[in-house]
Structure 1
C-alpha cells in the first residue's frame, strides 16, 4: 500500500511495477514531517533512492494551479533538476523517473557528457518538466543559456559524496547558485562526510536529516569474504574466484583504467566473456558493454569505481575487489552492485599479504563481518566443475526427431560410454582453466626460508622491505614481487631474511645499481607499489643498526667503492649472524 500523499497517477505506476510496499527510504521521504522540507538522506546503495526522490518531489511538480492538483503543467522551464555523478547513474535515474511519471505525461530531458550537446539543447528548448544530467554538462548548458532554472521548484543531488570526490564542487555550486532561493533541495547519498554537510549548510534551510543505513552498514543480502594471496597472485586469484562461482554476472573492480585494460585483456585471452568499463571508453562503447551483460553475451565486467557508479544489473551476484578499496565508502559502493532487490550476492576482497592489517581496519570501519578464506585451488574448482557438469547434462530437456536421429547414428558408431565422455569433454572445453597459486601453508613457508649460498653471491648488497612475519611475509610470494619490482630473475636474488616487521634480501653488487633504479621506476611517489610494499637499499646487513637513505646508497654505487674498505661500509662482505635477525 502506498501513502495517501502519493498522487494517484504515481500510485498506479507503482502498482503496475509490482510495488506492494515502499522501502524504508521511500516511506521516510513521505512522512508528514518531511513534507516540503529540504532533506539530507543517507541510504544504502540499492535501497530504492531514485523512486524515493521521485515520490518526494511529486508535491512540487503537481502543485495546484490551473492544471489541477493531479496534473502536471505544460512543459516549459524545468521544475525539477536531478544531478548525478556519472552517465550510467543519470541514465538509470532517467529510466526510473520515466516509468514513474509516464501516466502524468512528464517530459524528461537527459543531459550528460559524451552525448550530442546540440540535441540536448533542442530538447531543452522544447520544454521539460524534469532535467536529469551530470554536473559538467549541466553547467555547460547553463553557461550557454540553454538551461533556464529560474522556475525550478526542486533540486536533487544524487550520490552527492561521489560528486564531490570527483571534483564537481565548483560545478554544483554554480548550478545551485543559478536556481531560485525558494527551491526545495534534497541531498541523497550513501554516506554523509563533512564536505556534504558544508554543502548542505550553504544551500539548504532547516534540512531534515533522514538515515535508513542500518547499524551493520553493509548489505544484509551480501556475504563478504576476504582472500589473502601473494601480491604476484592477485590476477590468478581473481580468475579462480570467477571459475569457482561461475556467476551469471560478475563485476571486478580495479583502481585505474590501465589495470582495467590489462585485466580485461587477460580474461579475454583465457576464454572469459568479458567487457570493460573505464573513463577511456566512449558512451557508445559503455552502452554496448552494458547491453552485452544484460543480453548474457558477456558474464564478466571489469571496471573502475567511477565507471561502475549507478550500474544496476539484476543478474549480478558476484563482486570481486581485485584491488583493495581506498576507504569504507568505496567498499560499500562497489559491493552494493550486488545483493539488490532482495537477492543474495557475494563480495570478495583479494588481499595481498602485506595489506591484511589495513583491510581488517577497513572492514571494522565499514562495520562489515567478512569471512577470511583461502584462495580457490584448481582442485576446488574441478570439484565444482564436476557438480555443475552433472547438473547441466542431467537437467530435463526436450529433444526433437532430428536430435534423436543423430543420437541413433552416434550410438551405432560409438558406445554410450564414449559418447558420454565426448559430451563431458566438450562441456569442459568451454571452461577456462584454473590457475596454480603459490602455496601459503606454514610448511611451505619454512621450506623456503633456508639460506642460499650460490656462486656469484660472494659480493652482495642488502636491500630491505617494510614487511615481515606480522604481514605474512613469505619467500614464495616475496620472490616474484622482488623480480617484478627490480626487473631481475630468481637466480639473481641471494639470501632472504624475514624479521617481525621487515625483510632483508641480497642482490649481487654488479647489478645493485640497475636493481635500485628499476625499483624506483616501479614505485609510486611515496615509494610503495600497488600492494603497499616499500623496497630500499640498506646500510649494513640484517643485524646492523645504521642505515643510509636510498639516495645516499644510489650515489655510493654510482660513484663506485671508496678507498679503504668501502665494501665493509656497505655491510655486504661482513659475515651475517645466524638465526633470525634482531628486532628493532
Structure 2
C-alpha cells in the first residue's frame, strides 16, 4: 500500500523524507472506516505512530484547503507524557505540516512559559505538550481550546501510570463536545478503557501488535547472577554486545548516580538521565548519544520515556521492572522501526521465580542464560577487531609515508601486533564473575557471611525508617556506642521502627558492655538503647504480621501485644498514632 488520498502538501513532505509506503498503524488510520471517527489505537513504540496520528488528523486541520490560514485558537492538541516525547512529536509534525503552513507550539516543563504563551497567542495551529504545563496554560487563560477539532493522547497508559489522570480530565473537559479523540496506547489496562468510555464516542479499535505484549523485533534474554555481581554483569554485557547505543534502566536516582560513576571509572562513554537533571542537562546527554560522544545511557523509567535514538540496540534492565507494562515500555526503546534489538534482564538468583512469572504474564519468551565471561568477550573482541582492521581504508600521502617508515623499522607482524594492542587499549576490561553453579546459587540464597561471621549475635535498637534511620549514620553510631570498627559489624536490617545488626559472638559481651556504658556516660542527650535480640529480625517481623492479622479480624478483641523486649527509649508518637520526630541522637549522628 502506498500513501494515497492525502493532501498534496503532506504527500510531498513524506516523499522528501523517503517514506515510500506506510507502516501498519499508518495504513490502518487512513482506512475509509477510520476517517472522522474516534480511535483507540494499540501500537508499540517505534511503529511510526507519530506520523500515523499526524495523517489521521489531516482532514480536521486542512479540510479541503492545501494551506492553513491564521487560526485564533488551536485546531489540534497532542498530549504526551514527557518532555522528550513532546519535543520529538513537535519535530515530526513540523516537517510533516511545514508545506501546509501549520504553526506548531510546544508547551513542556523546563522551558520558558512566557515564550510559550507568546507562541500560543500568535495563532498556533497544533499544540503539543505535557499534561502539567498544558493545564497551567489552560488555567492562566493562555490556552484556548474552544475551537479544537481533534485531541490526541500519545502513550496514554504512561500518562496514567505517572499520575496525570486529573490533568488529562481537566484538559479534555475544556475541549468542545464535537472534537475527535485519538487515543494511542501500547497497552490497554482498565484505566485506559474508562478514559475512552468517558471521552470518546463510538470509537474504532485498531490493534497493530499481537496479543502478546513482547516486541517481535526484540530478543529477550534473562541473565542470572549472584546479587553482588550485578554491576560486574552490566560491565560484561556492555563489553560483550558492544552496542552502538545502549540504555541501562535503574529504579532510583541514587542507583543511576552510582552506576553512572562506576561505568565512567571503568572507561565507558556514559551519560545519566533522572528526575534530578535539568532540561538543559537532559538535552546535552541526549545530544552526546546522538553525536556518538557517549554510547551508554543510565536512566530511570520516567526520565527515559519518550527517548527515540535510532542507533539504540541494547536495553539492560539493571533492576527488575515493577510489572509487565514497565518491562515492555523499557524494552520498547529498542527494536524500533523494523530494526532488531536486544533486551537483557539481570536477575539475582533469589528473584528468578518473580521474573519468570512476569515474563509469562507478558507472554514474552526469554532465553535464560549466564552473564558472558571474560573468555566469551575476548572471543567476540577478536572477531570484531579482525573485521574492523580488514576493512579497506583510503590513505593520503602523509599516511602512506608514515606506513613506509614503520615498515622500514618494524616487521609487518610487529606492526600488526602494535595495531591490535592499540585497539584493545581503548576497550574497558571485562570482569571476572562468580560461576553460575548450584553452590553459588545456594550461597547467595543463604546469604553466606564473610569469614569471621559464621557465628553471630543479633542486637536491636529502637531506630527505624520512620525515624529516618539510614546506614550512612547508623553504622558510625554502632561503632561509637560499642567501641568496634566497621569490619566487626555484620548484616544490618533496618525495619519500620527498629534496626537489627550482627556482632560476632566472640566479642558480643564486650560490645554489649561498651554500649551500656556509653548510654550512661551522658555524651548523648537521649541515648538510643542497644540490647541483645534473642529472636532476630525475621522472628520479630513474623510476630508483627501476626499482630496485624489479629487486629484486622473484627471478631478478635484488641489486646495490647506483649513487648518482645524490655522497655527502652523510643520515639514519641502523636495522638493519632503517627510517628513523631526522630531521636535527638539520630539527628546528632546523622552526618558522622
Aligned to 1:562: none
Task: Give the whole-Å Cα distance in 2 for the aligned partners of 1:186 and 1:407.
Answer: 62
Query: Alpha-carbon deviation of 1:303?
Result: 1.1
Picking from 302, 314, 321, the partner of 1:318 is 314
Task: Give the whole-Å Cα distance in 1 for the aligned partners of 2:77 and 2:151.
Answer: 5
Aligned to 2:297: 301
Aligned to 2:249: 253
Q: In the alignment, is the contact (CA less than 8 A) between 2:488 and 2:503 conserved in 1?
A: no
Structure 1 residues 173 and 459: CA distance shift in structure 2, 3 A: closer
Q: In the alignment, is the contact (CA less than 8 A) between 1:322 and 1:350 conserved in 2?
A: yes
Structure 1 residues 98 and 323: CA distance shift in structure 2, 3 A: same
Task: Give the whole-Å Cα distance in 1 for the aligned partners of 2:448 and 2:4.
Answer: 78
Describe how 1:554-565 pairs up with structure 2 within 5 A.
Answer: 555=565
Describe how 1:174-213 pairs up with structure 2 within 5 A.
Answer: 174-213=170-209
- Paired positions, count: 503
Aligned to 2:57: 57
* 3-state SS, counterpart of residue 333 of structure 2: coil
Verify: 1:242 aligned to 2:210, yes or no. no
Query: Alpha-carbon deviation of 1:425?
Result: 1.6
Task: Give the whole-Å Cα distance in 2 for the aligned partners of 1:336 and 1:114.
Answer: 25
Q: In the alignment, is the contact (CA less than 8 A) between 2:452 and 2:504 conserved in 1?
A: no
Structure 1 residues 345 and 489: CA distance shift in structure 2, 3 A: farther
Q: In the alignment, is the contact (CA less than 8 A) between 1:539 and 1:547 conserved in 2?
A: no
Q: In the alignment, is the contact (CA less than 8 A) between 2:226 and 2:441 conserved in 1?
A: no
Q: In the alignment, is the contact (CA less than 8 A) between 1:319 and 1:338 conserved in 2?
A: yes
Aligned to 1:419: 415
Aligned to 2:150: 154
Structure 1 residues 514 and 384: CA distance shift in structure 2, 3 A: farther
Query: Alpha-carbon deviation of 1:433?
Result: 0.8
Task: Give the whole-Å Cα distance in 2 for the aligned partners of 1:396 and 1:330.
Answer: 44
Q: TM-score, normalised by structure 1?
A: 0.79
Q: In the alignment, is the contact (CA less than 8 A) between 2:349 and 2:441 conserved in 1?
A: no
Task: Give the whole-Å Cα distance in 2 for the aligned partners of 1:19 and 1:538.
Answer: 72
* 3-state SS, counterpart of residue 128 of structure 2: strand
Deviations 1:27-48 (A, max 9, x none): 2222222221111111111111
Query: Alpha-carbon deviation of 1:257?
Result: 1.5
Verify: 1:41 aligned to 2:41, yes or no. yes
* 3-state SS, counterpart of residue 350 of structure 1: strand
Verify: 1:140 aligned to 2:119, yes or no. no
Query: Alpha-carbon deviation of 1:548?
Result: 5.4
Deviations 1:314-359 (A, max 9, x none): 1111111111111111111111111111111111110111111111
Q: Is there any run of 5+ residues in structure 1 with no aligned partner, and where?
A: 464-482, 495-504, 516-536, 560-584
Aligned to 1:572: none
Task: Give the whole-Å Cα distance in 1 for the aligned partners of 2:369 and 2:226.
Answer: 14
Aligned to 2:577: none
* 3-state SS, counterpart of residue 281 of structure 2: helix
Q: In the alignment, is the contact (CA less than 8 A) between 2:488 and 2:504 conserved in 1?
A: no
Aligned to 1:435: 431
Describe how 1:78-477 pairs up with structure 2 within 5 A.
Answer: 78-442=74-438, 460=457
Structure 1 residues 258 and 54: CA distance shift in structure 2, 3 A: same
Task: Give the whole-Å Cα distance in 1 for the aligned partners of 2:151 and 2:448.
Answer: 67
Q: In the alignment, is the contact (CA less than 8 A) between 1:276 and 1:301 conserved in 2?
A: yes
Task: Give the whole-Å Cα distance in 2 for the aligned partners of 1:414 and 1:126.
Answer: 70
Query: Alpha-carbon deviation of 1:307?
Result: 1.2
Q: In the alignment, is the contact (CA less than 8 A) between 1:85 and 1:163 conserved in 2?
A: yes
Q: Is there any run of 5+ residues in structure 2 with no aligned partner, and where?
A: 461-474, 480-484, 492-500, 513-532, 546-560, 570-592
Q: In the alignment, is the contact (CA less than 8 A) between 2:307 and 2:333 conserved in 1?
A: yes
Q: In the alignment, is the contact (CA less than 8 A) between 1:75 and 1:107 conserved in 2?
A: no
Q: In the alignment, is the contact (CA less than 8 A) between 2:77 and 2:150 conserved in 1?
A: yes
* 3-state SS, counterpart of residue 307 of structure 1: helix
Aligned to 1:32: 32
Aligned to 1:471: none
Query: Alpha-carbon deviation of 1:557?
Result: 11
Q: TM-score, normalised by structure 2?
A: 0.78
Structure 1 residues 150 and 450: CA distance shift in structure 2, 3 A: closer
Query: Alpha-carbon deviation of 1:61?
Result: 0.8
Query: Which is further off, 9-18 or 88-97?
Result: 9-18
Picking from 72, 75, 89, the partner of 2:68 is 72
Deviations 1:243-302 (A, max 9, x none): 000011111111112211111111111110011111111111111111111111111111
Aligned to 1:571: none
Q: In the alignment, is the contact (CA less than 8 A) between 1:538 and 1:547 conserved in 2?
A: no
Query: Alpha-carbon deviation of 1:408?
Result: 2.7
* CA RMSD of superposed structures (Å): 3.4
Task: Give the whole-Å Cα distance in 1 for the aligned partners of 2:430 and 2:509.
Answer: 37
Verify: 1:17 aligned to 2:17, yes or no. yes
Q: In the alignment, is the contact (CA less than 8 A) between 2:3 and 2:22 conserved in 1?
A: no
Task: Give the whole-Å Cα distance in 2 for the aligned partners of 1:261 and 1:205.
Answer: 46
Q: In the alignment, is the contact (CA less than 8 A) between 1:538 and 1:548 conserved in 2?
A: no
Q: In the alignment, is the contact (CA less than 8 A) between 1:71 and 1:104 conserved in 2?
A: yes
Task: Give the whole-Å Cα distance in 1 for the aligned partners of 2:148 and 2:74.
Answer: 6
Q: In the alignment, is the contact (CA less than 8 A) between 1:77 and 1:152 conserved in 2?
A: yes
Task: Give the whole-Å Cα distance in 2 for the aligned partners of 1:178 and 1:60.
Answer: 18
Structure 1 residues 452 and 185: CA distance shift in structure 2, 3 A: closer
Query: Which is further off, 123-132 or 23-32?
Result: 23-32
* 3-state SS, counterpart of residue 205 of structure 2: strand
Query: Alpha-carbon deviation of 1:549?
Result: 5.6
Task: Give the whole-Å Cα distance in 2 for the aligned partners of 1:348 and 1:513.
Answer: 48
Structure 1 residues 447 and 276: CA distance shift in structure 2, 3 A: closer
Q: In the alignment, is the contact (CA less than 8 A) between 1:2 and 1:11 conserved in 2?
A: no
Query: Alpha-carbon deviation of 1:365?
Result: 1.1
Q: In the alignment, is the contact (CA less than 8 A) between 2:271 and 2:298 conserved in 1?
A: yes
* 3-state SS, counterpart of residue 373 of structure 1: strand
